[in-house]
Amino acid sequence: MILDYETLKLVWWVLVGVLLVGFMITDGFDMGAGILLPFLGKNDAERRIIINTVGPHWDGNQVWFITAGGALFAAWPAVYAVAFSSFYFAMMLVLFALFFRPVGFDYRSKIADPRWRSTWDWGLFISGAVPALVFGVAFGNLLLGVDFYLDEFLRPHYTGSFFDLFHPFALICGVVSLTMLAAHGAIWLQMRADQPVADRAGKAGLIMLVIMLIAFAAGGLVLLNGMPGLHIDMMPAKDALPNPLNKQVSVVDNGWLANYQTYNWMITAPITAFVTGLLTLLLVKARRSGLAFATHSITMTAIICTAAFSLFPFVLPSLSNPNSSLTLWDAASSHLTLNVMFIAAMIFVPIILLYTLWTYKVMWGRVTSKQIEGNPLAY
Amino acid sequence: MITEEVVDLSRLQFAITALYHFIFVPLTLGLAFLLVIMESVYVMTRKQVYKDMTQFWGKLFGINFALGVTTGLTMEFQFGTNWAYYSHYVGDIFGAPLAIEGLMAFFLESTFIGLFFFGWDRLSPRRHLMVTFLMALGSNLSALWILIANGWMQNPVGAEFSYETMRMEMTSFAELVFNPVAQVKFVHTVAAGYVTGSMFVLSISAYYLLKKRDLPFARRSFAIASAFGLASILSVIVLGDESGYELGDVQKTKLAAIEAEWDTHPAPASFTLFGIPNQETQTTDYAIKIPYALGIIATRSLDQEVTGIKDLIEQHEVRIRNGMIAYGLLTKLRGGQTDDATIAAFEEVKKDLGYGLLLKRYTENVVDATEEQIQAAAHDTIPNVAPLFWSFRVMVACGFAMLLIFALAFYFNATRRLESKRRFLRIVTFALPLPWIAAETGWVVAEYGRQPWSIGEILPVHLSTSTLEASSLYTSIGAIVAFYTLLLVIEVFLMVKYARLGPSALHTGRYHFEQNGEHSNQAKPEIAGGAA
How confident is the model at residue A57, as a pLDDT?
Answer: 96
pLDDT digits (tens, 9 = 90+) for B119-177: 999 999 999 999 999 999 999 999 999 999 999 999 999 999 999 999 999 999 999 99
A345: chain B residues, CB-CB within 8 Å: 103
DSSP assignment letter at B259: T
> Would you call B118 and A95 a contact, using CB atoms and an 8 Å cutoff?
no
A375 interaction partners in chain B (CB closer than 8 Å) = 117-118, 120-121, 532
Nearest to A98 among B73, B88, B531 (CB): B73
Q: Are B487 and A153 inside 8 Å of each other by CB?
A: no
> In a mutagenesis test of the B interface, which of A26, A52, A130, A155 is the best target, namely the one with the most B β-carbons within 10 Å?
A155
Q: How confident is the model at residue B345 (pLDDT cuts 50, 70, 90)?
A: very high
In a domain, A47, yes or no: yes
Burial B121-138 (b: 16+ CB within 10 A, else e): ebbeeeebbbbbbbbbbb
Assign B27 a pLDDT band (cuts: 50, 70, 90): very high
The residues that bridge with A327 in the sheet, in sequence order, are: A314
Q: Evaluate if residue B517 carries a pLDDT over 70.
A: no
Q: B111 CB near a chain A CB, below 8 Å?
A: yes
Q: Check CB contact under 8 Å for B92 and A71.
A: no
DSSP state of B263: S
**Residue B269 confidence class, pLDDT cut points 50, 70, 90:** confident
Could A337 and B95 be called an inter-chain contact, meaning their C-beta atoms sit closer than 8 Å? yes
Considering only residues 141 to 180 of chain B, which have any Cβ-Cβ distance to chain A shorter than 8 Å? 162, 164-167, 169-171, 173
Q: CA nearest B74 in A: which residue?
A: A95
Is residue B320 within 8 Å of residue B374, measured between CB atoms? yes
Residue-wise pLDDT for A251-298, tens only, equals 999 999 999 999 999 999 999 999 999 999 999 999 999 999 999 999
Q: What is the pTM of this model?
A: 0.94
d(CA A202, CA A289): 8
CA-based nearest residue to B316, from B366, B378, B362: B378
Residue A327 lies in a domain: yes
Q: Are B109 and B142 in contact (CB under 8 A)?
A: yes
Mean pLDDT of chain B: 91
The interface predicted TM-score (ipTM) is 0.94
Q: How far apart are CA B2 and CA A153, in angstroms?
A: 14
CB contact under 8 A, A59 and B94: no
* B364 interaction partners in chain A (CB closer than 8 Å): none
Residue B395 pLDDT exceeds 60 = yes
| Chain A residues near residue B169 by CB distance under 8 angstroms | 333-334, 336-337
Q: Which residue has the higher pLDDT, B244 or A196?
A: A196
**pLDDT value of residue B468:** 93
Beta carbons of B388 and B449 less than 8 angstroms apart: yes
The distance of B171 to chain A (nearest Cα, Å) reads 7
pLDDT at B532 > cutoff 90: no
Check if the beta carbon of residue A241 is closer than 8 Å to that of residue A166: no
In this structure, are residues B202 and B434 in contact, taking their beta carbons and an 8 Å threshold? no
Tell me whether residues B531 and A56 touch, CB distance under 8 A.
no
B115 touches chain A (CB under 8 A): yes
Is the per-residue pLDDT at B297 higher than 90? no
- pLDDT value at position A58? 96
DSSP string, A111-148: ---HHHHHHHHHHHHHHHHHHHHHHHHHHHHHHH---E
Residue B10, min C-alpha distance to chain A (Å): 12
A66 closest CB neighbour out of B84, B93, B106: B106
Q: Cα B201 to the chain's mean position, in Å?
A: 21
C-alpha distances in Å from residue A215, one per residue of A135, A222, A303, B74, B184? 15, 11, 12, 32, 54
Q: Are B499 and B210 in contact (CB under 8 A)?
A: no
The span from the CA of B27 to the CA of B16, in Å, is 18
Distance (Å, whole) CA A140 – CA A214: 16
Instruction: Report CA Rg, chain B.
Output: 26
Closest-CA distance of chain B to residue A228, Å: 27
Helix (H), strand (E) at residue A229: strand A228-234
Contacts 24+ apart (CB under 8 A), B160-165: B161/B350, B161/B353, B161/B458, B162/A241, B162/A334, B163/B330, B163/B333, B163/B334, B163/B343, B163/B346, B163/B350, B164/A241, B164/A243, B165/A241, B165/A242, B165/A243, B165/A334
Put simply, the chain A residues between 202 and 231 with a CB less than 8 A from any chain B CB are none
Q: pLDDT tens for residues B283-295?
A: 888 888 887 777 7
Looking at beta carbons, which residues of chain A come within 8 Å of B167?
Answer: 77, 154
A37-59 pLDDT, tens digit each: 999 999 999 999 999 999 999 99
Q: What is the structure's pLDDT at B270?
A: 80
- Judge whether B369 and B362 are in contact, CB under 8 Å: yes
Cis peptide before A196 (omega within 30 of 0): yes
CA B164 – CA B187 distance, rounded (Å)? 38
- Confidence class for position B1, pLDDT limits 50, 70, 90: low
The CA R_g of chain A, rounded to the nearest whole Å, is 21
Is residue B208 within 8 Å of residue B218, measured between CB atoms? Answer: yes
Whether residue A379 lies inside any domain: the answer is no
φ/ψ of residue B379, rounded to 5: -70, -30
pLDDT at B299: 67
State which residue of chain A sits closest to B85, comparing Cα positions.
Answer: A155
Domain that holds residue A85: 5-374
Å between B482 CA and nearest CA of chain A = 11
Provide the number of structural domains found in chain A: 1
State the best of A29, A105, A106 to mutate against chain B, taking most chain B CBs within 10 Å: A106
Looking at chain A from residue 59 to 98, which residues have their Cβ under 8 Å from any Cβ of chain B? 59-60, 62-63, 66-67, 69-75, 77-78, 80-85, 88-89, 91-92, 95-96, 98
Q: Could you report the per-residue pLDDT of B443-482, keeping only the tens digit for each? A: 999 999 999 999 999 999 999 999 999 999 999 999 999 9
Q: What is the pLDDT of residues B39-58, one digit of tens each?
A: 999 999 999 999 999 999 99
Give the pLDDT confidence of B349-380 residue by residue, as tens digits: 999 999 999 999 999 889 999 999 999 999 99
pLDDT digits (tens, 9 = 90+) for B53-85: 999 999 999 999 999 999 999 999 999 999 999
Give A154's contacts (C-beta < 8 A, 6+ positions apart). A78, A243, A244, A245, B88, B166, B167
Residue B231, pLDDT > 60, answer yes
Residues of chain A short of pLDDT 70, as ranges, are: none
Q: Which residues of B362-382 are buried (b: 16+ CB within 10 A; e: fewer)?
A: eeeebeebeeebbeebbebbb
Residue A329 lies in a domain: yes
Residue B243 pLDDT class (50, 70, 90 cuts): low
From chain A, the residues in CB contact with B468 under 8 A are 85, 88
Q: How many residue contacts between A and B have a Cβ separation below 8 Å?
A: 273
In a domain, A75, yes or no: yes
